[in-house]
Amino acid sequence: MTKKFLKRTTYYSLLFVCTTFLIPGIQAQKKPKTNVSTNELSYEIKGVLLGKKPSKLYLKDGLNNKTIDSSSIVSDSVFSFRGKVNSSSLLYLMMDEQTAIPLAIDKNVALKMQVFLRNEGIQYQLEGNNSESTSKIRKFLEDNAKAQYNINSIVQLSRSGKITEDNVKEIENSYYMEMENQKALISNILSDTSNPLGAYFVFKYFVPEAGKEEYDQVLKSLKTIQKSEYYKQINEDYIREAATLIGGVAPDINLPSPQGDSIKLSSLRGKVVLIDFWASWCGPCRKENPFNRVMYEKFKNKGFEIYAVSLDKDKNSWVSAIEKDMLPWVHVSDLQYWSAAPAKVYKVKGIPATVLLDKEGKILAKNLRGEELEQFLDNYFRNQN
C-alpha cells in the first residue's frame, strides 16, 4: 500500500476532526447592525471554548498569515471578535500555533461557535447568519477526516501481516475506493462556484500536486471574486506551473548521453517514462537507485523506461556512478549542475525528483518513489490491459 495518504498535507498539524457537538443554549446571533461601505464586509464571531484553554485566540488573514485581531478567554470560556474586511476574505481562527478553524467572510457574517479543543485536535460546530460557506468547509473537513481515517486503517491493516491471499484483492479494492472517495470530495468543493473561498482553502492545503484539472476547477470557482488576491495568486501559480502540470504534455528535453549522442525525451514516446532527476553527489539519489533497478526489471517488458537527467558537473563522477550503481536505462546531462536547463523548465528544487509520463508524453504524476512508484505502476499497467 502507498504511504502517500499518510503524509497528505492539511492546514497546520491539526486539525479538523469535526463532529456535530453542540452546547445547549447557544442561539444564532442576529445580523450585526453596522454601516459598511459597498466593498466592506462586517464579521461578528462569538463562541464558547471547552477543553484546553489558551489565554488568547487570534484571527489571522488567510493570504498573508498576519494577525488582524485577538480575543482573550473570559472566565466563562467565552470569546468574541468583531470587525470589518475590505472584501471577501478567508480568515483563520487560531487556537494555538498549530490549531485553526477556517472562516469564510463572503457576506456580512454573524457566527456563533462551539469549540472543543483537545490534544488530538479540535471539534467545532457553528451556526448563524451567512454561515453557509464556512459550514461547507467544515463539512468537507469532516468528510475528508472520515475518508482519511478509512485509508489509514487500510494501510495499517496491510502492514499488519493479517492479509491472506483470499482477501488481498478485497482490501486493495477498498483502498482504491476510499482514495476515489477522497478525490471526489476534493473535486466537489473545488468546483463549487458558490463557495470560492472554500475552493481556495482546499486547493491550497489538500491538493499537494495540483494538475490542470484542479487548476481549472479552482479558477472557475474563483472567477466569482476574480478581482481578489485569491484569484490573482492561484492564476499566477497556474501561469508559472502550466508547462509541467499533471495532465499536460511534458516539455521536451534534448541532452547528450555519456557517449555524446543527443537523446530526446520525445524519442521515447510509446513507452511509460520516468524522468529521474539525480546526481552522483546526491546520497538520497544513490540510495534510490537499487529500487529503481528493481522497478526497471519488473516493468521494462510492459513498456517502462527511465530517462535519467543528471545534475552533475563532472563527467567522470557521473559516468562512474552509472557504472558503479549498474543503471541500464537512458542517461543524459548538460553537466551544468543546478543550472541544468531541464531542471529550470521542470522547476526542480531538490533531488531526487521524478516526473512520470504516459505513452503520449503526458504527465501522469510527480515525485513518486519507492513503494509509491511501484503501486502506481502496478495499477497503471493493470488498467492498460
Give 198's contacts (C-beta < 8 A, 6+ positions apart). Answer: 104, 133, 136, 137, 140, 189, 192
268 and 375 share a domain?
Answer: yes
Percent of the chain with pLDDT over 70: 90
371 and 310 share a domain?
Answer: yes
Decide: 318 and 333 in contact? Cβ < 8 Å: yes
Check whether 99 has a pLDDT greater than 90: no
178 and 197 share a domain?
Answer: yes
107-119: average pLDDT: 90
258 and 236 share a domain?
Answer: no
Residues 186/191/192/194 CA torsion (nearest 10 deg): 140
320 and 233 share a domain?
Answer: no
Q: How many domains does the chain have?
A: 2
Check whether 115 has a pLDDT greater than 70: yes
pLDDT number for residue 73: 83
Of the three residues 188, 214, 244, the one that is the final residue of a domain is: 244
308 and 288 share a domain?
Answer: yes
In this prediction the pTM is: 0.70
| Higher pLDDT, residue 385 or 267 | 267
Quickly tell me which residue has 459597498 as its cell.
Answer: 38
290 and 351 share a domain?
Answer: yes
Summarize pLDDT for 33-91 with one digit per residue, the tens. 444 334 689 999 999 998 888 888 999 999 988 999 998 887 778 999 999 999 999 99
Percent of the chain with pLDDT over 90: 63
* CB-facing half-sphere around the CA of 80: CA atoms within 13 A: 8
272 and 373 share a domain?
Answer: yes
Which three three-digit cell numbers place residue 340? Answer: 541544468
299 and 318 share a domain?
Answer: yes
In a domain, 125, yes or no: no
- 385 pLDDT band, cuts 50/70/90, is low
Of the three residues 217, 244, 271, the one that is the final residue of a domain is: 244
359 and 269 share a domain?
Answer: yes
In a domain, 179, yes or no: yes
In a domain, 146, yes or no: yes
311 and 333 share a domain?
Answer: yes
329-352: average pLDDT: 94
pLDDT number for residue 204: 94
* CB-facing half-sphere around the CA of 18: CA atoms within 13 A: 23
In a domain, 94, yes or no: no
In a domain, 157, yes or no: yes
DSSP string of 302-368, one letter each residue: GTEEEEEEE--S-HHHHHHHHHHHT--SEEE----GGG-HHHHHTT--SSSEEEEE-TTSBEEEES-
152: domain range? Answer: 140-244
